[in-house]
Structure 1
Amino acid sequence: MPHPQTGTGDVVDLVVIGAGINGLAIARDAAERGLSVVVVDRGDVGAGTTATSSRLIHGGLKYLERYDFTLVHESIRERHLLFRNAPHLVHDYPMLIPFYAGDSRPGPLIRLGLAAFDVLAAGRGRGRSRGMSTRAIGRRWPHLSQRGLRGGVLFNDAQVPWAERLCVELLIDAERLGATVLTYTTVTGLIVDDRRVLGVRTRDNDTGEAGEIRGRLTINSAGPWIDRILDGQVESRRLNGGTKGSHVIVDPFPGAPDTCIFFEAAADQRPIFVFPWEGRYVLGSTDLTYEDDLDEVVASDAEIDYLLTEANRLFPDANLTPDDVLYSVAGVRPLPYTAGVSDNAKISRGHTVLDHAPAYRGLLTIIGGKLTTHRALAEDAVDEALEVLGRPRRRCATRTRPLPGADAADWPAFRAGFLRAPAPFTPEQAARLVAVYGIRAARVRELVVADPALGEVVDSRTGAVAAEVVLAFREEGARTLADVLLRRTLVGLGPDMALSAAVTCADVAVRYLGWDAGRARSEVAAYRAELRRFRPRVLRLAEATPTSDRRAS
């Protein structure tokens, strides 16, 4: 997919700053409703906060604790729509909520809350919650700590194993509808004239070329970076008060559960998770006030120790240590700034579309938002945009519009057929392709059928093939090797973060995409550099090995 250059052409209806899940959802909705849209992001789609989420699609159970019934209702509805519009990416996900003596939330209170949740989810639920006795839990989860156990509840929610693919498919659909998405293009400033925002000034990260994108309305959807966009350009109170959330990823451990366990941490009473994810386990997450550099967010030793300690308390046989951590993931939630809050869990997880008029016309800022409700946020933002632009209100169609990977008359039939006749792939390869790409797995197959050499396996662990690298660049907006490994094929999220596959994938780009050897080397080096924010074990071990030993091996 060629990368369009910024320039000083026609004025578009919307300039959207930020290509995370919210900015892309806004672009998709706006384009579908007939607006001309340009999205600008200094990095890749979904490479910021979206890629650091817990990968869970919450029905909103935990928001009942704050009596935020509006957000609960919205979350239930949006979860239901994701099951329908992205069934290849969003799946049922049972969770056990165990009750322990000394928990700040008594078991009867949680049961009451779940009963209320089941009522609110009527017709859109995934099955009613079910109480579990201590004995039943001991039989089903024999390695879960029995010390102080007082029973529990089995609750049905949802998971999106590949949140990055949600962003990629929003990108594909937005561009199909006419939106333009400029990645690796930095917004260097807003164009402000007489307190009216007229668009943005930009710089192409590769060429250094400066440009302008003029728009009738600019939407600041930069997540935790919204204040940075406004700083020195628009007078405003502080808007973002995001908290830091960190996760650690480990291999299966002694006593590891086959379902998600949602429990209360002993250290601070925060609800946290231990859950299976693509053959590994995620422990998370923290919820810490964060005032440091938004571009240098990494999990701290203290956070890693906190998560391991709580997992070991819950599963006494686990004996997890920092050496067991494959890698960590950390990001900042785009929450509204809330002065004087004593408990970060009490900060609203809802969203607000802020119109800066009358102080500054032509500018909206998106405050808050979360993975589950990205579509609803976009609908609200585009409704507001149409009103500000003086355009007729047009019905939002994204409630019923499937994402590209599910755009089939009969998605289950497509999946069954693809798995039943996997050639030219192995059954395991076919299962992965349809799970990652949905019906777009057929495009991978078409590429391999047209050129069997593209069936070369580039990652032995997953069975990913060369055709996926080509598809990522030609049809899915990838610009770098990291884009391919971390946010298209997802092989970079495996135990060794695809260090062993990076050179092979770069070689595919040399053979099929016109890279020279120098670019291949620089892309591999840049990929290794990007991995440092994950603190991957594979890099720690490599750097701890003397150079002579590495050469000998």
Structure 2
Amino acid sequence: MSYPHTGPGDVIDLVIVGAGINGLAIARDAADRGLSVVVVDRGDIGAGTTSTSSRLIHGGLKYLERYDFTLVNESIRERHLLFRTAPHLVHDYPMLIPSYASDSRPGPLVRLGLAAFDVLAARRGRGVSRGLSARRIGQRWPQLSRDGLRGGVLFHDAQVPWAERLCVELLLDAERLGARVLTHTTVTGLIVENGRVLGVRTTDNQSGRQGRIRARLTVNAAGPWIDHVLRGQIECRRLNGGTKGSHVMLDPFPGAPDTCIFFEAAADRRPIFIFPWQGRYILGSTDLTYDGDIDEVVASDAEIEYLLNETNRIIPQARLTPADVLYSVAGIRPLPYTTGVSDNAKISRGHTVLDHAPAYAGLLSIIGGKLTTHRALAEDATDAALKVLGRPRRRCNTRTRPLPGADTADWRAFRAEFQHSAAPFTADQRTRLLDLYGVRARRVLELATTDQSLAEVVDEQSGAVAAEIVMAFREERAVTLADALLRRTLIGLGPDMAVSTAVTCADVAVRHLGWDAARARTEVAAYHAELRRFRPRALQLSPATPNSDRRTS
């Protein structure tokens, strides 16, 4: 835990439950606007929904189909802002949308929708959509099935390859602005007195120390867990109706495209993506009603088979089997609870800030939201908090405030200079450091040049160096080895999920961070245990019991 609990007489303005992308974004905005803020999470930052997303920063094309122009405009705006405030993390991402005779959405309708999207995104995108004939697609993407191919569109959106790093940088900026973040600290209950919520009770997961954080306003930003935070504490209708989304990770395969392919699944008419990602591929995602334990979410055999089958259908030469899957990722989308919906895609992806007053004053719950619009959600939540607290409304600066990794007058110039001069790193290492850390890559360089042993490579696959492990713990609030590998250095998202290098990374902590051998062994074992939810091939796990998923269309 990075900070002590507030003392008995201390009362802060805001305590936020949940350190995912939304909770951290709220903390950053609220701290910037003068509020005293503490964030609490029972796990690590971004370890829930954020780390299981499709890693897209998308302009909301899918929402045009539901005529949700407000969400489309918001998504386009937020994508545009991230291009400017996080250029090291968010990149242009072209995708092909092929049209087949069997599709439920006719090709001309898709092209009309994209034309409308281009109008809405004018001057805020990275390129206009371009219609392609079946012949042109056959020439450029010969691996795609020609059976019923009518043509398609090349569309420009955006990707954040390392969504976890967005969370790290929101954390760093929030702390720089005065917020405090307590990870691996469980909220065991709300402090409720006379119908008013006055903060939260907590337990430090490592020491067992119990405490109270008293706050004028409590913000429940726990994503899919928002009902769990409230359960048994206050009377409230069900708020979360999140659906399960699963992805699988693959090495390059026969016919693997160099462009994202966005197509309609034959089995259920849902949109499926084949994402090129860091030299590998992500297939995803499912969108299933899920009523199981959201703490035990894994991709089921049926989901994996569904994604592989749909990919094999559109790329016949792929011939993928479950043995080709490196690992899988599954999570719950924090969607509003909605009854009577036959298609989960129709559930709103917008967000709501719910004030529980007058029944329970001093409590806000954040319902919904998505990766792309986390900043806008935070602005709305902070506006609501200022209103509830009776504070004057202050200007929101996060529309223009760069994240720490982009905090430079000229990002392109910095990148070019680092690529040219960052010895002793190789060109590939420099590129990776820039893509993960932005201008903070120079801090890795400083550590590695100060102590040559920190320039040692700890993971041959990625080229990551020991300095990154040290920085993860000293400067980026990692508490466990899993925090460092899965959500700081991202070594753990490599092909074998760092199964072969976890011991090496733990040894760095022994040599430079004061760990003893017993802690190193415990941390490696705990890391391997956390990997089980990914079903990694490298651990040779036996097949997990399929979840009680049910398709609703």
Q: TM-score range by the shorter chain?
A: over 0.9
> Any conservation in 1 of the 2:2–2:181 contact (CA below 8 Å)?
no
Q: Give me the whole-angstrom Cα distance separating, in 2, the residues matched to 1:3 and 1:288.
A: 38
> Any conservation in 2 of the 1:5–1:204 contact (CA below 8 Å)?
no
Q: Alpha-carbon deviations, 1:240-285, whole Å to 9, x = none?
A: 0000000000110001000100000000000110010001100000
Aligned to 2:146: 146
Amino acid at match of 2:349: R
Q: Give me the whole-angstrom Cα distance separating, in 1, the residues matched to 2:305 and 2:3.
A: 43
Amino acid at match of 1:291: D
Q: How do 1:329-348 residues align onto structure 2 when only pairs under 5 Å count?
A: 329-348=329-348
Q: Give me the whole-angstrom Cα distance separating, in 2, the residues matched to 1:269 and 1:323.
A: 26
Amino acid at match of 2:398: T
Q: Give me the whole-angstrom Cα distance separating, in 2, the residues matched to 1:231 and 1:340.
A: 24
Q: How do 1:110-259 residues align onto structure 2 when only pairs under 5 Å count?
A: 110-259=110-259
Aligned to 1:402: 402
Aligned to 2:359: 359
Residues matched between the structures, number: 543
SS of residue paired to 1:66: coil
Q: What's the CA shift for 1:106? A: 0.5
Q: Give me the whole-angstrom Cα distance separating, in 1, the residues matched to 2:261 and 2:234.
A: 45
Q: How do 1:47-58 residues align onto structure 2 when only pairs under 5 Å count?
A: 47-58=47-58
Q: What's the CA shift for 1:2? A: 4.1
Q: Give me the whole-angstrom Cα distance separating, in 1, the residues matched to 2:454 and 2:424.
A: 11
Q: What's the CA shift for 1:218? A: 0.3
Q: What's the CA shift for 1:110? A: 0.4
Q: Over aligned residue pairs, what C-alpha RMSD do you find?
A: 1.0
Q: Give me the whole-angstrom Cα distance separating, in 2, the residues matched to 1:183 and 1:6.
A: 15
Q: How do 1:275-294 residues align onto structure 2 when only pairs under 5 Å count?
A: 275-294=275-294
Alignment of 1:13 with 2:28, yes or no, is no
SS of residue paired to 1:337: coil
Aligned to 1:485: 485
Q: Give me the whole-angstrom Cα distance separating, in 1, the residues matched to 2:278 and 2:156.
A: 19
Q: Give me the whole-angstrom Cα distance separating, in 2, the residues matched to 1:369 and 1:150.
A: 35
Aligned to 1:547: none
Q: Give me the whole-angstrom Cα distance separating, in 2, the residues matched to 1:2 and 1:210.
A: 15
Q: What's the CA shift for 1:12? A: 0.4
Amino acid at match of 2:108: P
Q: What's the CA shift for 1:4? A: 3.3
Question: CA separation of 1:164/1:19 partners in 2, compared to 1, >3 Å: closer, same or farther?
Answer: same
Q: Give me the whole-angstrom Cα distance separating, in 2, the residues matched to 1:501 and 1:224.
A: 32
Q: Alpha-carbon deviations, 1:147-167, whole Å to 9, x = none?
A: 100000000000000000000
Aligned to 2:302: 302
SS of residue paired to 2:219: strand
Amino acid at match of 1:133: S
SS of residue paired to 2:26: helix
Q: Give me the whole-angstrom Cα distance separating, in 2, the residues matched to 1:36 and 1:365.
A: 18
After TM superposition, the score normalised by the length of structure 2 is: 0.97
Q: What's the CA shift for 1:426? A: 1.1
Q: Alpha-carbon deviations, 1:367-411, whole Å to 9, x = none?
A: 000000000000000000000000000000000000000000111
Q: Give me the whole-angstrom Cα distance separating, in 2, the residues matched to 1:89 and 1:75.
A: 17
Q: Give me the whole-angstrom Cα distance separating, in 2, the residues matched to 1:288 and 1:120.
A: 30
Aligned to 1:533: 533
Q: Give me the whole-angstrom Cα distance separating, in 2, the residues matched to 1:202 and 1:2.
A: 14
Amino acid at match of 1:312: N
Q: What's the CA shift for 1:7? A: 4.5
SS of residue paired to 1:425: coil
Amino acid at match of 1:83: F
SS of residue paired to 1:158: strand
Alignment of 1:506 with 2:506, yes or no, is yes
> Any conservation in 2 of the 1:8–1:211 contact (CA below 8 Å)?
no
Aligned to 1:99: 99
Q: Alpha-carbon deviations, 1:423-446, whole Å to 9, x = none?
A: 021111111101110000000000
> Any conservation in 1 of the 2:5–2:212 contact (CA below 8 Å)?
no
Q: What's the CA shift for 1:9? A: 4.5
Amino acid at match of 2:461: R
> Any conservation in 2 of the 1:57–1:371 contact (CA below 8 Å)?
yes
> Any conservation in 2 of the 1:6–1:202 contact (CA below 8 Å)?
no
Aligned to 1:549: none
Amino acid at match of 2:129: S
Q: Give me the whole-angstrom Cα distance separating, in 1, the residues matched to 2:191 and 2:96.
A: 51
Q: Give me the whole-angstrom Cα distance separating, in 2, the residues matched to 1:44 and 1:313.
A: 38
Q: What's the CA shift for 1:340? A: 1.4
Aligned to 2:546: none
Q: Give me the whole-angstrom Cα distance separating, in 2, the residues matched to 1:363 and 1:78.
A: 27
> Any conservation in 2 of the 1:191–1:201 contact (CA below 8 Å)?
yes
Alignment of 1:439 with 2:439, yes or no, is yes
> Any conservation in 2 of the 1:224–1:240 contact (CA below 8 Å)?
yes
Aligned to 2:313: 313
Q: Give me the whole-angstrom Cα distance separating, in 1, the residues matched to 2:486 and 2:255.
A: 29
Q: Give me the whole-angstrom Cα distance separating, in 2, the residues matched to 1:455 and 1:41.
A: 32
- Percent identity between matched residues is 79
SS of residue paired to 1:256: coil
SS of residue paired to 2:500: helix
Q: What's the CA shift for 1:541? A: 6.8
Q: Give me the whole-angstrom Cα distance separating, in 1, the residues matched to 2:59 and 2:74.
A: 8
Q: What's the CA shift for 1:8? A: 3.0
Long gaps (5+) in structure 2 = 544-553
Amino acid at match of 1:115: A
Amino acid at match of 2:107: G
SS of residue paired to 1:500: coil
Q: Give me the whole-angstrom Cα distance separating, in 1, the residues matched to 2:541 and 2:329.
A: 18
Aligned to 2:37: 37
Q: Alpha-carbon deviations, 1:141-184, whole Å to 9, x = none?
A: 01011110000000000000000000000000000000000000
SS of residue paired to 1:323: helix
Question: CA separation of 1:140/1:126 partners in 2, compared to 1, >3 Å: closer, same or farther?
Answer: same
Amino acid at match of 1:357: A
Question: CA separation of 1:427/1:45 partners in 2, compared to 1, >3 Å: closer, same or farther?
Answer: same
Q: Give me the whole-angstrom Cα distance separating, in 2, the residues matched to 1:135 and 1:448.
A: 52
Q: What's the CA shift for 1:464? A: 0.5
> Any conservation in 1 of the 2:198–2:214 contact (CA below 8 Å)?
yes
Q: What's the CA shift for 1:422? A: 2.5
Q: Give me the whole-angstrom Cα distance separating, in 1, the residues matched to 2:366 and 2:347.
A: 16
Amino acid at match of 1:263: F
> Any conservation in 2 of the 1:22–1:378 contact (CA below 8 Å)?
yes
Q: Give me the whole-angstrom Cα distance separating, in 2, the residues matched to 1:174 and 1:436.
A: 19
Aligned to 1:426: 426
SS of residue paired to 2:497: coil
Aligned to 1:108: 108
> Any conservation in 2 of the 1:478–1:484 contact (CA below 8 Å)?
yes
> Any conservation in 1 of the 2:127–2:156 contact (CA below 8 Å)?
yes
Q: Give me the whole-angstrom Cα distance separating, in 2, the residues matched to 1:320 and 1:216.
A: 54
Amino acid at match of 1:73: N
Q: What's the CA shift for 1:37? A: 0.1
Alignment of 1:76 with 2:76, yes or no, is yes
Q: Give me the whole-angstrom Cα distance separating, in 1, the residues matched to 2:241 and 2:365.
A: 14
SS of residue paired to 1:309: helix
SS of residue paired to 1:150: strand
After TM superposition, the score normalised by the length of structure 1 is: 0.97
